[in-house]
Amino acid sequence: MYAQMVKSTGTGLKSADEMSAEERAFQARIDAGEKIEPKDWMPEGYRKTLIRQIGQHAHSEIVGQLPEGNWITRAPTLERKAILLAKVQDEAGHGLYLYCAAETLGVSRDEMTEMLLDGRMKYSSIFNYPTLSYADVGTIGWLVDGAAICNQVPLCRTSYGPYGRAMIRVCKEESFHQRQGFELLMTMMRGTDEQRAMVQESVDRFWWPALMMFGPPDDDSPNTAQSMAWGIKRDTNDDLRQKFVDMTVPQAEVLGVTLPDPGLVWNEERGHHDFTQPDWEEFRAVIGGEGPCNAQRLAHRQRAHEQHEQEATA
Ligand SMILES: [Fe+2]
Ligand SMILES: [Fe+2]
């Protein structure tokens, strides 16, 4: 998703006996499906986990403008430029809704930006990959926004009210993003051999990083249990990844592209597709700052931040 390695700051799952009276009452509200609002009592770990997750999500929306923004001045037609501009502006809006949601937890947008710039906060690994052709605009819409939808639709029901409400609006716009990406790829697939080859090459590059968007496998994701108990997270990483693969395979058939995984086959018994895991070493390297575009993305963000500071004090 747009927040892949969020460490929950809970100290392991507590049993009801180990909880304080306040914690017990809080957990009962979560279990009853009640929304938690900014002025309600909440455990410190819940608040911190949410700040990390929403902050990381907000940063991902903002940094996520860069790979596609790269193509605005080189869009092939006026219509494509208008669509791309609208999409990139939506991502800026998503960042703003999410920063506002995080601010209700007592952290400012400036503090979160500082944490991004000094490396204490991350953004999604996917945005550290370059966009090399216009087909990438379509592939990002189809696969990256598609993966984001899988992750984010369940977050509309997350336990923290301001986060869930922001996600409802974000999800509506994400489905437009996914469809515009699919439509662009479909148009290219109906074009020349060269255009079809561009689409296939782009899908070959983005397939594995898109699978990484759901974060590490469940047995390597020790914080999921606490986040799920608190209703912050609704599904595990592996369940969401499976859902994404199952959703994407028939769409790839309609497009006429090949997903670059020879191990991708329908498993009748499980009622799901089997597929090969992405390279988790590469994932760790990219999250750790070693991806192809990490330095470039952060330098851009730093420049924008300094410019804003100068304008604010001028
Ligand atoms: Fe977005
Ligand atoms: Fe999007």
Q: How far is CA 239 from CA 31, 165, 200, 212, in A?
A: 21, 23, 27, 13
Asked if residue 114 lies in contact with residue 59, where contact means CB atoms within 8 angstroms, the answer is no
Phi (first) and psi of residue 273, to 5 degrees: -85, 140
Taking the centre of ligand 2 as the mean of its atom positions, its distance from the CA of residue 117, in whole angstroms, is 23
First to last CA, the chain: 38
Taking the centre of ligand 2 as the mean of its atom positions, its distance from the CA of residue 305, in whole angstroms, is 22
pLDDT of residue 5: 64
Reading the block at residue 95, the tokens are 């960042």
Note residues around ion ligand 2 (Cβ under 5 angstroms): 145, 174, 177
pLDDT of residue 8: 62
Q: How many CB atoms lie within 10 A of CB 210?
A: 26
C-alpha 272 chain-centroid distance: 23
pLDDT of residue 2: 72
Q: What is the pLDDT of residues 168-184, one digit of tens each?
A: 999 999 999 999 999 99
C-alpha 149 chain-centroid distance: 8
Q: What is the pLDDT of residues 141-167, one digit of tens each?
A: 999 999 999 999 999 999 999 999 999
Taking the centre of ligand 2 as the mean of its atom positions, its distance from the CA of residue 228, in whole angstroms, is 25
pLDDT of residue 308: 84
Q: What is the pLDDT of residues 95-106, one digit of tens each?
A: 999 999 999 999
Distance between CA atoms of 229 and 221, rounded to whole angstroms? 14
pLDDT of residue 314: 75
Q: Which ligand is nearest to the CA of 140?
A: 2
Q: What is the pLDDT of residues 221-248, one digit of tens each?
A: 877 888 999 999 889 999 999 999 999 9
- Per-residue pLDDT, averaged over 68-82, amounts to 96
pLDDT of residue 17: 84
- Per-residue pLDDT, averaged over 173-201, amounts to 97
- Per-residue pLDDT, averaged over 273-297, amounts to 94
Least confident of 16-20, 100-104, 147-151, 193-197: 16-20
Taking the centre of ligand 1 as the mean of its atom positions, its distance from the CA of residue 104, in whole angstroms, is 20
Taking the centre of ligand 2 as the mean of its atom positions, its distance from the CA of residue 32, in whole angstroms, is 32
Taking the centre of ligand 2 as the mean of its atom positions, its distance from the CA of residue 91, in whole angstroms, is 6
Reading the block at residue 273, the tokens are 């597709």
Residue 13: pLDDT band (50, 70, 90) is confident
Distance between CA atoms of 280 and 282, rounded to whole angstroms? 5
Residues 6+ apart with CB under 8 A from 181: 137, 138, 139, 140, 141, 142, 143, 145, 146
pLDDT of residue 224: 82
C-alpha 79 chain-centroid distance: 27
- Per-residue pLDDT, averaged over 4-26, amounts to 78
Asked if residue 100 lies in contact with residue 180, where contact means CB atoms within 8 angstroms, the answer is no
Reading the block at residue 228, the tokens are 């799920």
Residue 311: pLDDT band (50, 70, 90) is confident
Residue 309: pLDDT band (50, 70, 90) is confident
Distance between CA atoms of 133 and 206, rounded to whole angstroms? 12
Single-letter code of the amino acid located at 279 = D
Place of tokens 């090459």: 201
Taking the centre of ligand 2 as the mean of its atom positions, its distance from the CA of residue 19, in whole angstroms, is 39
Q: State the chain's maximal CA–CA distance in angstroms.
A: 67
Long-range contacts of 85-93 (CB under 8 A, 24+ apart): 87/141, 87/176, 87/177, 87/180, 90/173, 90/176, 90/177, 91/61, 91/62, 91/64, 91/65, 92/61, 92/62, 92/65, 93/173
- Which one, of 71, 239, 57, 233, lies nearest residue 148 by Cα? 57
Taking the centre of ligand 2 as the mean of its atom positions, its distance from the CA of residue 177, in whole angstroms, is 5
Q: Which ligand is nearest to the CA of 176?
A: 2
Taking the centre of ligand 2 as the mean of its atom positions, its distance from the CA of residue 179, in whole angstroms, is 10
Asked if residue 241 lies in contact with residue 211, where contact means CB atoms within 8 angstroms, the answer is yes
Does the pLDDT of residue 10 top 70, yes or no?
no
- Per-residue pLDDT, averaged over 301-313, amounts to 87
Residue 220: pLDDT band (50, 70, 90) is confident
Taking the centre of ligand 2 as the mean of its atom positions, its distance from the CA of residue 39, in whole angstroms, is 30
Q: What is the pLDDT of residues 49-70, one digit of tens each?
A: 999 999 999 999 999 999 999 9
Taking the centre of ligand 2 as the mean of its atom positions, its distance from the CA of residue 145, in whole angstroms, is 5
Reading the block at residue 236, the tokens are 């595990």
Taking the centre of ligand 2 as the mean of its atom positions, its distance from the CA of residue 97, in whole angstroms, is 13
Does the pLDDT of residue 92 top 60, yes or no?
yes
Phi (first) and psi of residue 227, to 5 degrees: -65, -35
Q: How far is CA 218 from CA 92, 108, 182, 229, in A?
A: 31, 32, 30, 15
